[in-house]
Amino acid sequence: MAVEAAKTGHGVSWWAELPDVSDRFDAATVTEGLSDLIAPRIPAPLLRREAQIAADVVVRHLNKPNSIELAERSAKAVERLVATVDRIAERHTADDDSGTTAAHALCHALQGRWADAAAEVEAEVGTQPLLRVFVAALRLEQFDEALTVRLLRAGQNPGTAVQAGRVVGKHGWWPNWLLKIVNDRAMAGTLDEDTINALDNCAYAELSPAQSKIASRLLNGDEALIDTSAQRLEALGDPGAAEKLRAGDLTAVALAARALPL
């Protein structure tokens, strides 16, 4: 059952990146989520029922991978469903697939080819519901799923989107102006470890509102302000921090902002 990427949306390779960003990616969660999205799209009642039964058995096996009985039942259920779908597909033309497109996609999901399944039904099911399923399956702690889905919807690559979700999940106590920088940097694809460390320093620095505005402008690369702040640091006897600030070392931002009187 060959898979073609949806005419609109993402290809198989893009969806395949999502499981790779977490070593805790849960097969049962993504399989159950995809099944819940795809099975209702199968119009033939008998085929839909067979698909739902197969999905139920597969998910039960994935939740109890050591069960030999469930492993055998799962394999047989998927084999039977694939044979049924192929048999129906042979009797229908491309213009009338009798719901086999959705059924094919579900077979992919039940066989662990989640990216193939997502690419095949994205145009019909919608990107956001699929993203929610994949992101939920990441099973990450201290993680902002909503932000990650939003970034992915906006076109950000999976690695960067998940990184932003983890930063916000871990540092949800940061003030809003810092979280906004995280979001902006993530959208631009420039959220790196140096930026995260600099933001963390700013958070712990307990900056006043005025100092926070200065820090935000420094983080955004305001050259005139960087030069002025560096001069202030030099006047305060810290030429090393001034040099770091001029060189683009973001870790000096908090110190430069604190140099501004309250």
Q: pLDDT digit string (tens) for 215-225?
A: 888 888 899 99
Average pLDDT of the residues in 228-251: 87
- Same-domain pairing of 27 and 53: yes
> Which residue, 139, 157, 187, sits at the end of a domain?
139
Counting residues of the chain whose pLDDT is more than 90, the rounded percentage is 52
Q: Could you say which DSSP state residue 261 is in?
A: -
- Same-domain pairing of 27 and 56: yes
pLDDT band at 5 (very low <50, low <70, confident <90, very high): very low
Q: How many CA atoms lie within 13 A of 186 on its CB side?
A: 29
- Same-domain pairing of 76 and 167: no
**Tally of domains within the chain:** 2
Say which range, 78-82, 189-193, 257-261, has the weakest mean pLDDT.
Answer: 257-261
Concatenate the DSSP letters of all residues of 100-154 into one string: HHHHHHHHHHHTT-HHHHHHHHHHHH-HHHHHHHHHHHT--SS--HHHHHHHHHT
What is residue 2's predicted lDDT score, i.e. its pLDDT? 36
- Same-domain pairing of 187 and 113: no
pTM above 0.85, yes or no: no
Does the residue 6 lie in any domain? Answer: no
Tokens found for residue 149: 């889905």
pLDDT band at 97 (very low <50, low <70, confident <90, very high): low
- Across all residues in the chain, what is the average pLDDT? 88
- Same-domain pairing of 125 and 24: yes
- Same-domain pairing of 174 and 98: no
Among 198, 197, 195, smallest CA distance to 185 is for 195
- Same-domain pairing of 123 and 153: no
What is residue 4's predicted lDDT score, i.e. its pLDDT? 39
Range of the domain at 87: 12-139
Q: How many CA atoms lie within 13 A of 244 on its CB side?
A: 15
Give me the amino acid identity at 138. L
> Which residue, 116, 139, 162, sits at the end of a domain?
139
Burial degree of 235 (CB within 10 A; 0-12, 13-18, 19+): exposed
